[in-house]
Chain A
Amino acid sequence: MLARQRRRLVLPFLAPAATIYGIFLLWPTLQAFVTAFTDWKGVTLDKSFNGLGNFEHLARDPLFFKTLGTTVALVLVGGVILFPLALTLAFATSERIRGRHLFRFVVLAPLAVSVVAAAVLWKFVYDPNLGLLNGVLRAVGLRDLSMPWLGQPETALIAIAIVIVWQNVGIFVVFLSAAIANVPSDLKEAAQIDGGSALQVFRHVTFPLIWEVTRILMILWIVSGLQEFVFVWAMTKGGPLNSTETVGIFVYMTAFQGKAWAYATAAGVVMFLLMVAISLFFYRVTRRDVVQY
């Protein structure tokens, strides 16, 4: 009876959050799954059941598979740049070095810039004639390295990945710094007494102890990277030659420009399922025995 009274007390406090969750997450998700099986064009609210037609079309759409590959490439390239950088910065800012507070501010400052503002800023930086990057390269005698960074398929995706990393590295550094700070200092001291260098201590003591946090951050990166849209849209709109077109851009253009809303939704559903599958797979293969201290 007491337990039932406690439940009566707890449930009303859960109701607002559950309502918001239901309205803004569950309901649209259910709608999306239903819409993916229709032929909806987005002009009126009329929808006819289409069976697996949209998914069959997706399976034959070379552009969808190209965008899928581009999206995975963006996640991989961005991840390869982001995580070593974030770990290095987190390690550096965890040490008592002069100016570390200023250093932390510099690392965290991009987080305060809105995504669109950051994209427009970097679009200017990358401009082949007016941009800062080519200007600096020419000024230091590296004119041959100046190029239209966003205008060639070979460099556009990496250029965008760098911008995404620049904007997000701060938050990753925050989480990793907190994890590093929680590593008991006596363990590190013991390793140092045993003759370990700073790098060895980090590699054999600190990093294993922060692996769980790192793993979660990697999964978050994968999930957000697979949904990338804003930076690509603001900087290249998927060009040049569709070389930066992510699945997010594909879905947007299919829905809002092509008016094939059901088809776009089907692509979104496929992406959702892929994200779940990739995340679970990654979670499984990166699992290690938890080191407790």
Chain B
Amino acid sequence: MKNHMLAVHRPARRRASLAPGGRRSIAGLAALLLLGTVAGVSATAPRSGDVLTHTDPVSQQQMAPGQIEIVSLYPDDAPDSRNLALTNAEFSAKFPGSTAILNFPGGQLADSITNRWLAGDPPEVNYGFFHGTPQAWDYAAAGQLYDLTAAMSEPLDGYGDATWMDSILPGIRGFTTYPADGKAYAVPRELQTYQFFYNKKLFSANGISVPTTWDEFLAACATLKAAGIEPLAVSGPTQPYTDIYYSYLLARMADPVAVQAALDGKARFKDVPGALDAATELERLLKEGYFQSGFEGTDFTAAQMSFLQGKQAMMLMGSWLFGEMKDSIPVGFDSGIFSFPVVDGGHGDPNAVIGGVVMQQVAAQSKRPELGAEWLRLQAAKASQDRRTVDLGYLSAYDGAAVPAGFDSTVADLQAGGRLILEDWGGYAAVSITQAQRDAYGLPISALFLGQSSAAEMVDAIDTGLARFWDLP
């Protein structure tokens, strides 16, 4: 009899599959996968040398039709987006076969857009990649911005014979150009200025005239407080909105050139004449209790709504207030505007305006930068600018565009070449600024607002913070 060897089929066990030979196989597979991943990602990653440069203007007939992407600062149902849609329609009419689509990534210089720039797939029209401050020149230095110089040397619709560049308000033109090569890489979308909005009904009910001096302003606050009305709405947690009080007082009471030098690390902040006086005046507002109750924890949207609902009489806010809150303003709300008061005896600039300029750029690596530039030209045209100012109450950076009610003196100052000081003295408006630099100026001001320091301590803290950041002796 033969012995039949029975094949014993043992059930597969985990340990068997992870026997030394199995473990090596798995490790080998994982290593292969990793190497393949590395190779694949490296092969498809864009190289910094692959930057397209377009310096010659292309005529309408030469431009290939296609779709371009416009980054929007507002969601689809916002009033501003509806205005942008009109510009898109004009674009499609002017360039048959071409369309412009809006992309709302959640804000300026949004992470998703920044990542697309890194990946070499940026939208055509963007925000935040170039500005007039040195901290905002990185992308120009890297050659990633489309040169708009030639386009801006051509006339612009609605401004007569003036070129696109010359149509921009004199005080704003500097923000379009990169000093290192003298080329234009950005155009202003809108001008933003900070001023006081006030509730006309509350003013007239308490016999208050629009204040033009700091003493008149303090008297108005005292009158309102005595009548049981909170004088000033402010958002405490939103740093720029508290900083702006001190920034304006500095502009009025100290030489702006000296202040900017100190903030840029060329001098000590505590040595700027008027810096402590300005802090003392801000401290006075806080000690008198002129700011809304609970401002420390009030979000800026809630603060704006509180002002619009008539709970406070005044609000130092950007010119976008009514455009942004257009759909939320109660019927019958009557507001006026006045500039930050002049401080008698101050050594600063009584006409300085603190604000910002929202700049737009075209990405050189985008698929159709020439069409992006033409879309910007349509937006800069007087018809488009007037739509934004008249319909939405925004300020235009273009000389000759319509001026929203109340802003005539502001625009007149800038038409005459008046100084536009960037909000937070260039800190907040910059594209790239370290937190340490921003905190050096803003954090001590927040500490004063929260009652955690005095005016003198605030100035010392700003000085110390800036000295540490700039490594001053």
Contacts and interface: CB of A to CB of B under 8 A. Distances in A.
Nearest to A47: B48
A256 B434 contact: no
Interface string B164-186: 00000000000000000000000
B34 A27 contact: yes
Given A44-B144, A63-B435, A241-B447, A236 B237 contact: yes
Nearest to A239: B237
Interface string B291-303: 0111111110010
Contacts of B294: 127-129, 134, 147-148, 151
A50 interface: no
Contacts of B292: 129
A117 to B, nearest CB: 15
* Most chain A beta-carbon neighbours within 10 Å: one of B21, B26, B34, B138: B34
Interface string B17-53: 1010110011001100110011001000111100000
Interface string A15-33: 1001100110011001000
Given A27-B38, A128-B298, A18 B21 contact: no
A182 B453 CA distance: 57
A45 B118 contact: yes
A94 interface: no
A27 B297 contact: no
B133 to A, nearest CB: 13
A25 to B, nearest CB: 11
Interface string B432-462: 1111100100010011001010000000000
Given A6-B17, A15-B29, A239-B237, A42 B435 contact: no
B372 interface: no
A140 interface: no
Contacts of A139: none
Given A7-B25, A22-B33, A256 B296 contact: no
A126 interface: yes
Q: Name the prevailing secondary structure of the B interface residues.
A: helix
* Most chain B beta-carbon neighbours within 10 Å: one of A7, A15, A148: A7
A127 B139 contact: no
Contacts of A26: 34, 37
Nearest to B7: A2
* Interface bin, chain A: 35 or more
A46 B47 CA distance: 8
Nearest to A15: B29
A33 to B, nearest CB: 13
Interface in B384-434: 431-434
Contacts of B25: 7, 11
A149 interface: yes
Contact of B37 (A3, A27, A126, A254): A27
Contacts of B435: 63, 250, 253-254, 257-258
A7 B22 contact: yes
Given A22-B33, A22-B37, A43-B139, A4 B297 contact: no
B142 interface: yes
A46 B298 CA distance: 42
Contact of A128 (B34, B111, B293): B293
Interface string A64-87: 000000000000000000000000
Contact of A44 (B29, B37, B142, B452): B142
A23 B41 CA distance: 9
Contacts of B22: 3, 7, 10
Interface string B99-122: 000000000000100100010000
B46 A150 contact: no
B184 to A, nearest CB: 19
A45 B450 contact: no
Contacts of A10: 17, 22
B432 A257 contact: yes
Contact of A151 (B19, B237, B443): B237
Nearest to B48: A44
Contacts of B41: 23, 27
Contacts of B239: 239
Interface string B277-316: 0000000000000001111111100100010000100000
B12 interface: yes
Interface in A29-62: 30, 41-46
Contacts of A104: none
Contacts of B431: 259
B138 A41 contact: yes
Interface in B133-152: 138-139, 141-142, 144
A152 B443 contact: no
Interface of A: 3-4, 6-7, 10-11, 14-15, 18-19, 22-23, 26-27, 30, 41-46, 63, 123, 126-130, 134, 147-153, 236-237, 239-242, 250, 253-254, 256-260
Interface of B: 12, 16-17, 19, 21-22, 25-26, 29-30, 33-34, 37-38, 41, 45-48, 111, 114, 118, 138-139, 141-142, 144, 236-237, 239, 292-299, 302, 306, 311, 431-436, 439, 443, 446-447, 450, 452
25 contacts: A3-B16, A3-B17, A3-B21, A6-B16, A7-B17, A7-B21, A27-B34, A27-B41, A42-B114, A43-B141, A43-B144, A44-B144, A45-B45, A46-B48, A127-B294, A129-B306, A150-B297, A151-B237, A151-B450, A152-B297, A153-B450, A241-B443, A241-B447, A253-B435, A258-B432
User: Which 3 pairs from chain A and chain B are nearest by CB?
Assistant: A128-B294, A151-B297, A148-B297
